[in-house]
Each structure stands twice: as structure tokens, then as C-alpha cells.
Chain A
Amino acid sequence: MKAVYTWGAILAIVIASTAGDILMSYAMKQIGDLGELREQRGILHVAGRVLGNGAFLCGLCFMACAFFSLLFALSWADVSLVGPASASLTFISNAIAARIFLHEHVDRRRWTAALLVAGGVALLAV
């Protein structure tokens, strides 16, 4: 039962974090460079722009789901299993989702990096 709870929570983390990451990245590209925006218009303007963005708020909800799934998983297993296992799967799902939904140019260098990191993170879970 412990393994079912742990891996069920890890799967929930992967799905929720991928959705959250894609929506967050989309929102931030819409808003622009936060550092430059803060220098030009001030921190309150930046906060207003971020908090008023629909994609950001939607992404935040998915991130919250991922966070509570993480807490749930951590209550059953070590951080050195939950962190790497969920992250390695998230690297692959994010590369695929970023290519499909954000139209990012995922070239050979980025695929290699994502696969190396995912493989390395998976080994951390062994």
C-alpha cells in the first residue's frame, strides 16, 4: 500500500507540475522580463501584472496541487526518492509539453540535456 500511495502521489506531482510549468512559462513570456519591468515601473506594477494574469493564476492552482501531492508523498517516502523520481519524469514531460504547447525549439542539445538529467535523477532514486 505504501508503494501505491508513494507512486500515485509522484504521478500526481508530475502531471500537476508539468501543467503548472507550462502555464507559468506562457504567462511570464506574455508579461516580459520581470527584472527590466521592475526597474522601469516598480515592484508593485510587476506584482499587479503577474497576479492579474489568468495563465499565471491557473498555473498557480496546478503548482498548489503539485505541492500538496509532494507533502503527501514525503509523508510516505524519503526526499531522496520522491524528489528525483518526480523530477526525472517531469523533465521528459516538460520537454514534450514545451515543444507542443509553447512551440519552444527543443534542439538536440536540449533533448540530450533533458535525457541526461532525467537519467541522472532516476539513478538518484535507486
Chain B
Amino acid sequence: MTFRNYSILAGVVFFGACGDVLLSRGMKSVGEISFSNFHQLFTALLTPWVAAGVCLLILFFVSYLTALSWADLTYVLPATAIGYVFMALLARFFLHETVSPTRWLGIGLITAGVGFVAGGPALTPPREQRTTEAVPREVER
């Protein structure tokens, strides 16, 4: 893992969390949408908060695709999960939502999970390669 790789993972975390919080802020001003006024979802895209959220989510998407081009999906998803912690903090301080002790416990578990996967390899060899690597060991025995 190089500095560039860590920067891309940081981009996934930052843009994803900020994008979701801006979308939430925008959708709160739009109000509740039911199936009968479903078309309001499309007009919601034109509101400033939602539009800003979409812009950040495009940057998230580019970072995410880049990460997936050199790492396994089962590595990228837990490694970038710290974004949910970031999102909870933004929701607490920016949207003034309540963060209960249970949520703080959840934040602790996520941090532990991220630490767990981040220490392992980003990309595992494909199944065929793993099989051929396993054969010599079998022969050695």
C-alpha cells in the first residue's frame, strides 16, 4: 500500500460521508415523498443541498472505482467504513441529530473492524492461483 492508495481510501471516506450528509440536509427541506408524488425525487435533485451532495458523491464514486481497480471489494468496504463514524459526527454537529451512547459503542466497533481489515492484504490472488500455489505444498508433504 502506497501513500497514493491511502489517499484514495481517504477520498472515499471523506466524499462519501460529506455527500450523504448534504443529501440528508437537502431532503429534510424537500419533505416526505410518497409513491403518489414520486416525481418530486427528480425535482429534489435541483435543490442546492442535494445538488452539492450529488457533486461530492460523484467524487466519491471516482475514488471508489479507483480503489476497486487495485483492491478486493471485501477489503475496500470495511477499510472505508470509518466514513460512517465521520458521518455520525457530521450528523451530530452539522445536522444536530442525537448521538446516543449506543451509537458511540457502534462507532467503536466500526473502528475495530477497520483496524482489523486494514492490517491485511488489499488484494488476494484469484482462486486458480491459490489452487496452483497449494499443490506443491501438498506434494511436499
Binding site for B on A (CB under 8 A): 5, 21-22, 24-25, 28-29, 31-35, 37, 50, 63, 67-68, 70-72, 74-76, 78-80, 83-84, 87, 90-91, 94-95, 98-99, 102-107, 109-110, 112-117, 119-124, 126
B side interface size, CB within 8 A: 59
Residues of A within 8 A of B69 (CB): 28-29, 31-35, 37
In the complex, which of the residues A83, A114, A119 has the most CB atoms of chain B within 10 Å of its own CB atom?
Answer: A83
B112:A78 contact, CB within 8 angstroms: no
B24:A120 contact, CB within 8 angstroms: no
The main secondary structure of chain A at its interface with chain B is: helix
Let me know if B41 is at the binding interface, CB within 8 A: yes
4 smallest CB-CB distances across A and B, nearest first, come from A123-B106, A120-B109, A116-B113, A79-B24
Question: A-B pairs with CB below 8 Å: how many?
Answer: 174
Residues of A within 8 A of B46 (CB): none
B66:A34 contact, CB within 8 angstroms: yes
Can you report 30 residue pairs joining A to B where beta carbons are below 8 Å apart? A22-B73, A28-B69, A29-B69, A33-B70, A34-B66, A50-B65, A63-B61, A71-B44, A72-B41, A78-B91, A78-B97, A79-B21, A84-B84, A91-B81, A94-B74, A98-B72, A102-B72, A109-B116, A110-B75, A110-B120, A114-B77, A117-B114, A120-B109, A120-B110, A120-B113, A123-B102, A123-B105, A124-B84, A126-B100, A126-B106
